[in-house]
Amino acid sequence: MTSIERAMDPNRRVANQVAETAERPPAEKPGQGAGGEGQTRPRLVELDFTELTRRGLLIPSGNDPKLEEEFRLAKRPLLKHAFPRDMRPMPRANLALVTSNTDGEGKSFTTFNLAMSIAMEMDHTVLVVDGDVSRNSLTRWLGMAGERGLTDVLDDPDLGLGDVIAQTNLDNLRVIPSGRSHSRATELMASHAMEEVAEELAGRYPDRMVLFDSPPLLMTSQAAVLANLVGQAVIVVEAGKTTQQAVQDGLNLVDPAVTKVGFMLNKAPRGKHSGYFGAY
Amino acid sequence: MQEILDQLLAYLRGFWRFRWYAMAFAWALAIGAWVYVAQVPDQYQATARFHVDTESMLTPLLRGLAISPDSQERVRFMTRTLLSRPNLEKVARMTDLDLQAKTDDEMDALVGRLKRNIRLSGTQKTNLYEISFVHSDRQKAKAVVQSLLTLFVEKSLGQSREDSANAQDFLTQKIREYETRLDQAESRLMEFKREHSGEMPDQQGDYYQRLQKARTQLEEARFQLETARSRANELASQIQGEQPVYGMMNPAGGGNRSSRTRTPDLDQRIDRLQKQLDQLLVKYTDNHPEVVSLKESLKDLRKERDQARKRLAEAQESSGSGPVPLNQNPVYQELKAALGQVRAEVAAARSRVKHYRQQVATLREKVDTIPKIEAKLAQLNRDYEITKQTYEKLLARQQSAELSEAADRSSNRMKFEVIDPPRVPPEPVAPNRPVLLGAGFGVSLLGGAALGIFLALIWPTFDTRRQLFDATGIPVIGTVTRVSTSRLRVKRATEMIGFGVTGAALLGAFAVIFAAETELMGLGFARLSDWFNGIRSLL
């Protein structure tokens, strides 16, 4: 099936997964014989909206119109670059990494909210991958700590992506948790297996947006490695906290030829313009 | 205006980022200030006033002279006399201050410190002096002033040789001064006399006479010049033939001009005699012998002339060459020669006039300056005389002072009198602790704020997407304003309260210490500075 037909028929999404088995792309690992996304019945994750609201995260029922509006604006450039109308997309443009320079600036927050915002849209599906294996905030927020996830896929040649991907109570939103904690997480992330995962994720559903959460750029090398495996990167900068020097240092680690970089200014002070949004 | 506000806001935000560093720094500065203010020792000032007849030492020496030292000199004189090194050493011994000085150097330092800290001031008109001394120990301060006064009294009662020696020195110095001035005046006078010799009063009469003589000579020379000139003109015109010679008219009418003046000499003589005759006839009759003789001479001359004319006419006819050419005419030649002579006379006269005129001018100039020179000379003389007189008087006084010194020793003249005995106010005169504390407070606040802003400037962050974009050139896909969950709000509130409490504590500490130091509200507990002073006195 061509991507156009798929796009015209959103209801076919569930059916697609089953039908995909017949069209396994040659890049799939041979060991994944029984793998592929559609083979195993995907798990279902119940999103605890109360808990999410408590954390200030977005939920579909619109708890914070201002925040919703801000993310609605922010996802546009992401989607535009990932799914351009009038030309071919850049390689792996539908893979986006969300990172920051130091800790605590709001990467997981941004990742989740971006994913939620895109998921509430009609046209696209979102897959969120928690790439921050040491501080897996996203995984914990979703209550999936300890479950099989990314590290397991990377480590175990017998496991495929389909084994760890999880559905949520939102149709458009899928999740891959970080996986069990691993002593050699850094090496795993830098391995060839990760590259293959990225390639698979990019190619499997070209109209699916994949968002990766990641560790800080300046604190480990994982983030930089990951950044160069994906097509887009969103660097979260905390207003009034991230020093200008750190921002520059972070930028130096990402190759602009490979990855399109954009900033997200988080925790900005209430300025002249911020008061308007949300009240309309 | 908006930019200024934005900039201020940015600074404030920056400071807020580093507020805890700023607070810590402010506290550190505050503690430093408190320790400093507490440990500065109090200084007390002892003062006393006394009256001394300065002139009693100087006046007898300088009475009648035009010199009187001004008040500055007097105070300096007093300071030198009363605060001399032997005096100060005595004071140090009397007050036991010298117990701290064990070596000579330390003693020197001690004496130096005493000299610096003892202030002597006096007014211009009266002889009232005030002496003050500042020290951290009240008793010591008072003791020093008291010892000084004692010393002065002792000295005044017995006029010690040192004091009058000082006055003597003063006199000797003045004498030396005047000696120099006298020498200078003398040499100036000599110089002047030498420069203008010949114009001195005793030689002056010459000039006036010479001026007169020169004037007369000038007049004479002028007159000579005039006459010579008119003669030359006459001769010249005769030669030219413009003036007809009397009696040479050719009966034929017109004719050669030269024929008229063929016998100019004779004509002249005849004219002259005729004139004389006319003059005489005014006074006398024809019978006068002079008139008669003149008439005779006249007749003779006329006859002579006719003969001469006849001869000339014959000579002219015989030669047939017309009138005799001018340059062979003997009369003409004579005239020419005469003209030449006269012209020479004119030149000579002219140069004489010039010469005399110059002489007159020079003499007149000299004569004009004579009064000025006289005046200058008089002034120099006067200067010299006065200086000499004063000098001689000073010498005399010096002599008499040495004599009177012995005589004066017996008199019990009280020249020194204490007006206000030494007193030390219980309040210290320094340091001004409240002010220092206030300054410390200001320094602490400013220092904290400065550190905050400074840190913000060297580690800048981003506050707006514009800043971020401008700095990196990378697009900012979105801005998320600060989300405040209740948990976050609580956290922030706690932290703000903490900061506020720390700040209030700082203020409170300052207030308490300020009140304690100034003994406001009678708080009862001892001042920090008292503790420090106590500790120091124990050491």
B284-325 pLDDT, tens per residue? 888 888 888 888 888 888 888 888 888 877 766 665 444 555
Nearest to B421 by CA among B130, B134, B178, B18: B130
Convert B148-189 into a string of H (helix), E (strand) and C (coil): HHHHHHHHHHCCCHHHHHHHHHHHHHHHHHHHHHHHHHHHHH
* Res A129: pLDDT: 93
Specify the higher pLDDT residue, B350 or B87. Answer: B350
| 8 Å CB contact of A270 and B17 | no
The overall average pLDDT reported for chain B is 78
pTM of the predicted structure, to 2 decimals? 0.53
* Res B89: pLDDT: 82
Read off the pLDDT of each residue in B203-218 and give the average, rounded to a whole number.
77
Nearest to A38 by CA among A21, A53, A26, A25: A21
Read off the pLDDT of each residue in B26-45 and give the average, rounded to a whole number.
86
B213-229 pLDDT, tens per residue? 888 889 998 998 998 88
Contacts with A147 (C-beta within 8 Å, 6 or more apart), sequence order: A43, A139, A164, A166, A177, A179, A180
**Local structure of residue B254 (DSSP, 8 states):** S
CA distance B503 to chain A (A): 23
Does residue B251 have a pLDDT over 50?
Answer: no
Q: What is the largest CA-CA distance in chain A?
A: 57
| B66 pLDDT tier (thresholds 50, 70, 90) | low
Distance, in Å, from the CA atom of B277 to the CA atom of B271, rounded to the nearest integer, reads 10
| B239 pLDDT tier (thresholds 50, 70, 90) | confident
| 8 Å CB contact of B460 and A241 | no
Phi, psi torsion values for A254, nearest 5 degrees: -110, 135
Q: Please report, as a single letter, which amino acid is at residue A141.
A: W
Specify the higher pLDDT residue, B448 or A33. Answer: B448
**Local structure of residue B430 (DSSP, 8 states):** B
A38-59 pLDDT, tens per residue? 445 567 878 888 888 878 788 8
Read off the pLDDT of each residue in B270-283 and give the average, rounded to a whole number.
86
Residue count (chain A): 280
C-alpha Rg value of chain A to the nearest Å: 18
Listed range (B79-88, B261-270, B323-332, B419-428) with the worst mean pLDDT: B323-332
Nearest to B165 by CA among B90, B77, B88: B77
Distance, in Å, from the CA atom of B524 to the CA atom of B296, rounded to the nearest integer, reads 156
For residue B475, give the nearest of A77, A245, A268 by CB distance. A77
| B527 pLDDT tier (thresholds 50, 70, 90) | low
| 8 Å CB contact of B463 and A244 | no
For residue A265, give the nearest of B465, B485, B487 by CB distance. B465
Contacts with B512 (C-beta within 8 Å, 6 or more apart), sequence order: B523
Does residue B61 have a pLDDT over 60?
Answer: no
* Res A12: pLDDT: 47
Q: Is B359 exposed, middle or buried (0-12, 13-18, 19+ CB in 10 A)?
A: middle
| A242 pLDDT tier (thresholds 50, 70, 90) | confident
For chain A, helix (H) and strand (E) counts, in that order, are 12, 8
Residues of chain B contacting residue A110, judged by C-beta atoms under 8 Å apart: 480
Distance, in Å, from the CA atom of B366 to the CA atom of B210, rounded to the nearest integer, reads 11
Whether residue B131 contacts residue B120, with contact meaning beta carbons closer than 8 Å, is answered with yes
Q: Give percent of chain A above pLDDT 90.
A: 23
ipTM score assigned to the predicted complex = 0.78
| B22 pLDDT tier (thresholds 50, 70, 90) | very high
| B487 pLDDT tier (thresholds 50, 70, 90) | confident
Both structure tokens of A34? 């029984």
- Residues 155 to 184 of A: which have CB under 8 A from any B CB? none
Read off the pLDDT of each residue in B155-160 and give the average, rounded to a whole number.
55
* Res B481: pLDDT: 85
Distance, in Å, from the CA atom of B524 to the CA atom of B473, rounded to the nearest integer, reads 66
Other Cβ atoms closer than 10 A to B222 = 16
Does residue B208 have a pLDDT over 60?
Answer: yes
Whether residue B451 contacts residue B25, with contact meaning beta carbons closer than 8 Å, is answered with yes
Place of tokens 């003149």: B294
DSSP secondary structure of A101-154: SSTTSSHHHHHHHHHHHHHTSSS-EEEEEE--SSS-HHHHHTT-TTS--HHHHH
CA distance A242 to chain B (A): 6
Whether residue A227 contacts residue A114, with contact meaning beta carbons closer than 8 Å, is answered with no
| 8 Å CB contact of A268 and B482 | yes
| B75 pLDDT tier (thresholds 50, 70, 90) | low
The long-range contacts involving B428-434, CB below 8 angstroms and separated by at least 24 positions, are: B428/B42, B428/B43, B428/B44, B429/B43, B429/B44, B429/B45, B429/B134, B430/B42, B430/B43, B430/B134, B431/B37, B431/B40, B431/B42, B431/B43, B433/B37, B433/B40, B433/B517, B433/B518, B433/B529, B434/B514, B434/B517, B434/B518
DSSP secondary structure of B58-110: HHHHHTTSS----HHHHHHHHHHHHT-HHHHHHHHHHTTGGGG--SHHHHHHH
* Res B445: pLDDT: 93
Q: Which of B18-27, B142-151, B337-346, B511-520 has maximum average pLDDT? A: B18-27
CA distance A149 to chain B (A): 29
Does residue B403 have a pLDDT over 70?
Answer: no
| A22 pLDDT tier (thresholds 50, 70, 90) | very low
Q: Which residue of A has its CA nearest to B10?
A: A240
Listed range (A175-179, B22-26, B181-185, B282-286) with the worst mean pLDDT: B282-286
Q: What is the largest CA-CA distance in chain B?
A: 172
Whether residue B253 contacts residue B273, with contact meaning beta carbons closer than 8 Å, is answered with no
Residues of chain A contacting residue B17, judged by C-beta atoms under 8 Å apart: 240-241
Residues of chain A contacting residue B461, judged by C-beta atoms under 8 Å apart: 239-244
CB–CB contacts below 8 A, A to B: 109
Listed range (B43-52, B58-67, B367-376) with the worst mean pLDDT: B58-67
Other Cβ atoms closer than 10 A to B202 = 6
| 8 Å CB contact of A241 and B463 | no
Nearest to B116 by CA among B71, B166, B79: B79
Distance, in Å, from the CA atom of B118 to the CA atom of B113, rounded to the nearest integer, reads 8
Does A252 contact B at CB distance below 8 Å? no
* Res A163: pLDDT: 84
Distance, in Å, from the CA atom of A272 to the CA atom of B7, rounded to the nearest integer, reads 14
Nearest to A235 by CA among A101, A75, A78: A101
Does A76 contact B at CB distance below 8 Å? yes
| 8 Å CB contact of B482 and A269 | yes
Does residue A23 have a pLDDT over 80?
Answer: no
Nearest to B42 by CA among B539, B439, B530: B530
Place of tokens 């010949």: B198
* Res B335: pLDDT: 82
Whether residue A100 contacts residue A242, with contact meaning beta carbons closer than 8 Å, is answered with yes
Read off the pLDDT of each residue in B453-464 and give the average, rounded to a whole number.
88
